[in-house]
Amino acid sequence: MTTTLHYGPPYALEGLKVLVVGWGRSGQAAAKLCLREGASVKATDARESDAPADPALAAVELVLGRHEVEDFRQADLIVVSPGVPSGIPELRAAGEAGVPILGELELAASFFTGTPVVALTGTNGKSTTTALLGELFTAAGQKVFVGGNLGRPASEATLCGQRFDAIVLEVSSFQLETVRHFHPRVAVVLNLTPDHLDRHGDMEGYAAAKARIFERCSAEAGDALVLNGDDAHTAAMAEAAPCATHLFVHGAGRPASASIEEGRVVFQAGDGAVERYRLENPALRGPHNEANAAAAVLAGRLMGLRPGAIELGLQRFGGLPHRLESVRTHGGVEWVNDSKATNVDSAVTGLSAFAAGVILVAGGRGKGASYAPLAAAGRGRLKAVLGIGEEGPALVEALREVTHGPAEIVGTLEAAVERARELSGAGETVLLSPACASYDQFPNYEVRGQRFRELVEALP
């Protein structure tokens, strides 16, 4: 059935039959928003799922464990969760029948009237940069909502009943596939490396999805686009941008730019004024986090945050769990939880944040990637390697030649922590950066990281 969907903003939902596809946190938040706006809501998920205990969702009709194509064809509007592939037959049938299809991000953002939005995307560093930018707003005394692809669905910004000075959202390529009117005041693209190509087809398709973050921005509205000048894919986006572009890391000659010099973020305003911000926070160590900080500083200044607030926010940012998270310093040894490093590239990034004296705990369920890049990053840095899980033997063998001290298969995380305690000395670092998935020994990387924390905190 063909439906005319009225966009105010916000979208007019009263009286519509809405089908929410995907019954995770994003889908449930979208369902609440649609119910609040007077729609009748049905939700479907191909996976079996328990009905939510939230009484606010009691009115939702659930179809779980399957999709019924007629539910898609008969809806007035479909709201699709980002994890649902856009090419499933039921969505194609709905499109052919003229049913409008929106993502949760697009729906939610239509209700952000009057509140400026900063949206961040990229392949790596999105969550850290989003959380850091939120901290900069908080340090400025502003009430900020931080979410999107990071933790809290965008719909919660309007459902929680609070008024915000700014909304900071991490957005994924999946979410950007279904935007129509999404319009951030400042859009940030951190970097692009091959990812999700099974969904987007190739790098061109992936980059095109990411570029949708700024397609509604305009110079007339004073919008801004922040791009990584060191990344060829993101820098090329400046040519098609409909608004002012600003480069971080290396950006001389742009209206405003941010670069890294001697461990500081150097912000250069459009009028030539220069500001320097110290990066002494352990939560922002490593070249990748320096780049994240540069992007956050540039976006924050473009949003009008004052230098003092940015300096304070950079100092007190606590980082994110399981991402180069400093658990404790014990006997002069720092213990760092980087359990989120579930692939080789992420482990290389984590290891590269340290100069030398690293006892690396790595292993788990492998993904078929070569460990040669990790060996290259370990040269001169590794004091010891302790292999855990299924890939422990392979990792130990791959890193043995670049390790100054022992390279041992220890099997479990418990044994690794005990052996690392014996091997480490003051001024050194014990780093859990597994380069592998956790599924051989733990249900997810969070549980693995939490167990590491428990073991380290229990050290005598």
Q: Which two tokens stand for residue 113?
A: 């009237």
Is 250 catalytic? The answer is: no
Coil/strand/helix, residue 456:
helix
DSSP H or E stretch at residue 21 = strand 17-21
Question: What value does the CA radius of gyration of the chain take, rounded to a whole number of Å?
Answer: 23
Q: What is the DSSP letter of 177?
A: T
Of the candidates 126, 125, 124, 170, the residue with the CA atom closest to the CA atom of residue 147? 170
CB 235 within 8 A of CB 247: yes
pLDDT value, residue 194: 66
Coil/strand/helix, residue 246:
strand
Is 149 catalytic? The answer is: yes
Q: Per the residue annotation, which of 196, 250, 330, 404 is the catalytic one?
A: 196
Coil/strand/helix, residue 46:
coil
Q: Per the residue annotation, which of 67, 126, 322, 383 is the catalytic one?
A: 126
Residue 4: count other Cβ atoms within 10 Å of its Cβ.
Answer: 8
Q: How far is CA 398 from CA 90, 355, 392, in A?
A: 46, 20, 10
Q: Which two tokens stand for residue 107?
A: 């729906």
Of the candidates 109, 67, 111, the residue with the CA atom closest to the CA atom of residue 88? 67
Calculated CA dihedral for residues 285, 289, 294, 298, nearest 10 degrees: -120
Q: How far is CA 460 from CA 179, 321, 357, in A?
A: 53, 23, 22
Mind spelling out the 3-state secondary structure of 390-413?
CCHHHHHHHHHHHCCCCEEEEECH
pLDDT value, residue 199: 67
Q: How far is CA 222 from CA 22, 165, 185, 272, 302, in A?
A: 36, 18, 8, 19, 10
CA distance 381 to 46: 47
Q: Per the residue annotation, which of 124, 149, 228, 292 is the catalytic one?
A: 149
Q: How far is CA 12 from CA 4, 17, 77, 156, 425, in A?
A: 10, 12, 11, 18, 63
pLDDT value, residue 145: 98
Q: Per-residue confidence of the chain (460 residues) as pLDDT tens digits?
A: 677 899 999 999 999 999 999 999 999 999 999 999 999 999 999 998 776 778 999 999 999 999 999 999 999 999 999 889 888 999 999 999 999 999 999 999 999 999 999 999 998 889 999 999 999 999 999 999 999 988 899 999 999 999 999 999 999 988 999 999 999 999 999 998 865 666 677 888 889 999 999 999 998 888 999 999 888 889 889 888 888 788 775 334 456 889 999 889 999 987 888 999 999 999 999 999 999 999 999 999 999 999 999 999 999 999 999 999 999 999 999 999 999 999 898 999 999 999 999 999 999 999 888 999 999 999 999 999 999 999 999 999 999 999 999 999 999 999 999 999 999 999 999 999 999 999 999 999 999 999 999 999 999 9
Q: What is the DSSP letter of 416?
A: H
